[in-house]
Amino acid sequence: MSLVSPSVAEFHLSIEFLLMAVIGGLGSVWGALAGAFAVEWLGDGLRDLIPALIPGATGEVQLVGFGIALVVVIIALPGGIHQAVVGVARWAGRTLLRRTPAEPASATTVAEPALPSVTAPLPRGEVLLEVVGLEKRYGGVVAVDDLSFTIGSGQIVGLIGPNGAGKTTCFNMISGVLAPTAGEVRFLGQRISGRKPSVAAALGLTRTFQNLQVFTSTDVLGNVYMGRYLRGRAGFLRGLLGLQGAEQRGQRERAAEILSTFGLQDAASTPAADLPFGRQRIMEVARALASEPTLLLLDEPMAGLTGQERDRLAELLRGLRDAGLTTLIVEHDVAQVLSIADDVVVLDDGVLIARGDPDHIRAHPAVIAAYLGNDDDAPPAKKKGAPQGRGRA
C-alpha cells in the first residue's frame, strides 16, 4: 500500500491483531510471530470452511470463527502458544532429570553456596547515605518531620517504629518513589531526593517493597534474572538483532547462583505465582541482590517467613555485611532487627526519637514508651529540635 489510512485498520483487521497476540502469547516476541502465522492459517481455513458449512454466508461470519477461537484460547491456554511450548519443554526437562541417575550425595562434605559479589565504593564506616532535614507533608498531616541521620558503608542499619511511624514514607523518599516536601537525601555524595528512582538505582541503590512485587508471568529464575537488568550491556541494537545471547546466558547463570545462595534452586523453574508467600518474599530479596547493589533497602523482608527462614535471611545479611554490603532494613520483628543491626534509627509519628546501637535502643525510655504506651516518667517521644546524635533521644 502506498498510503495507510484509518480505513485500512478496519474492525476485521483489528480482531486479527488481537488474536495474533493472544493466541501467540502475550509478552513474548516469538509468541507474537507464532500467533501471526496461526491466525493467517486460521483465517484461510475459515474462509474455505464457512461457505462449505453455511452456503451463502458472508465474510462477516468469519468473525464468529475468530471469536470462538479467542474464547477457547483464553479459557484453555491463557498463555497461548508460547505457554504451551514452555510447558512441553519443562515437562521434557523434568522427565529427563527423572531418567538421569542422581549423583550420590557425599556424607562428609556439603558445599556452602557462595554469597553474591559485593563492591564497596567507600571504606567501611565512611558516610554512604546522608538524610538531612527530610520532611513529608500531606496537607496538614505530617508523615515525616525534620528527619536526619547517616548510614556508614558496610553497616546494617535498622529503621523501626510503631505502625504509622513514617518508616515506609522515609523509604519511599530515599529511593525516589516520593519527592520530599523539604530536606534532601545524598547518596555517594550526589543528591537523589526528588529525582527518579532510576537515578538512585544507577548509582547502586536497590530496594524491595512492603507489598510483594512479583513478575507472575515468568518463573522464579526469570524473576531473579530481571534483577540483572542493570548489569546488562547489550543495548537496544544488539537486542533487536538477537546478538545478546551470550550475555543473557551469563546473566541467567549468575541469577541461578543467587537462587542457590537463598536455597531456591529447587524452585527455579516453578512459576513465581505458585510459590508460598514466604518463599516469594525471599525471591524478592534475591532479585534485589541480583543487581549487585551498593546500598540495599529492605522493607519488611521477614514478613510471612517461618522462624527458620528468618534465621537464614538474617545469616545471609550478616554475611553480606561482612563482605561490604550496606543495608537499611525496615522490619516489625524488632528482636530480629536488634540481633543483626549495627545501628538503629527509631521513628515515632514521623519524628526521630532515638538513635544508637541495639543495646542502647533496648533500654531507651522513649522507645519503650512508643511501643508500650506513654509513661509519666518517660521523656516526650517527640520534641522538635531535640538532639539526634548517636545514642541520644
- Segment 74-94 mean pLDDT: 77
Give the number of residues written for the chain. Answer: 393
Q: At what angle do helices 11-24 and 29-53 cross, to 10 degrees?
A: 120
Cβ neighbour number for residue 88 with a 10 Å cutoff: 10
Identity of residue 139? G
Which stretch of 53-57, 136-140, 254-258 has the lowest confidence by average pLDDT?
A: 53-57
Cell of 58: 458472508
* Pairing label, strands 127-138, 141-152: antiparallel
* 3-state DSSP assignment of residue 313: helix
Cβ neighbour number for residue 387 with a 10 Å cutoff: 11
Cα–Cα distance, 346 to 162 (Å, whole number): 9
Backbone angles phi, psi at 355, to 5 degrees: -150, 130
CB 136 within 8 A of CB 181: yes
Cβ neighbour number for residue 122 with a 10 Å cutoff: 16
- Residues paired with 137 in a beta bridge: 142
CATH number of 127-372: 3.40.50.300
DSSP code, position 210:
S
From residue 263, alpha-carbon distances to 113, 286, 384 in Å are 9, 10, 46
Please give the biggest Cα pair distance in the chain. 93
* Pairing label, strands 343-348, 351-356: antiparallel
pTM over 0.85: no
Identity of residue 347? L
**Residue ranges of the domains in the chain?**
11-96, 127-372
- Residues paired with 138 in a beta bridge: 141
**Which pLDDT band holds residue 209 (cuts at 50, 70, 90)?**
confident
From residue 172, alpha-carbon distances to 136, 167, 275 in Å are 10, 9, 27
Residue 59, pLDDT score:
57
Distance of CA 318 to the CA centre of its chain: 21
Cα–Cα distance, 244 to 233 (Å, whole number): 9
With CA atoms as reference, report the closest residue to 320 among 345, 298, 353, 305: 298
105: pLDDT strictly greater than 50: no
CB 285 within 8 A of CB 223: no
pLDDT tens per residue, range 54-77 = 666 655 666 777 778 788 888 888
**Which pLDDT band holds residue 101 (cuts at 50, 70, 90)?**
low
Percent over 70 (pLDDT), the chain: 82
Cell of 311: 534465621
More confident residue, 231 or 108: 231
**Which pLDDT band holds residue 173 (cuts at 50, 70, 90)?**
very high
Residue 352, pLDDT score:
92
Angle at 314 (CA atoms; ends 309, 318), nearest 5 degrees: 150
Identity of residue 378? A
Cα–Cα distance, 283 to 267 (Å, whole number): 10
Cell of 359: 543495646
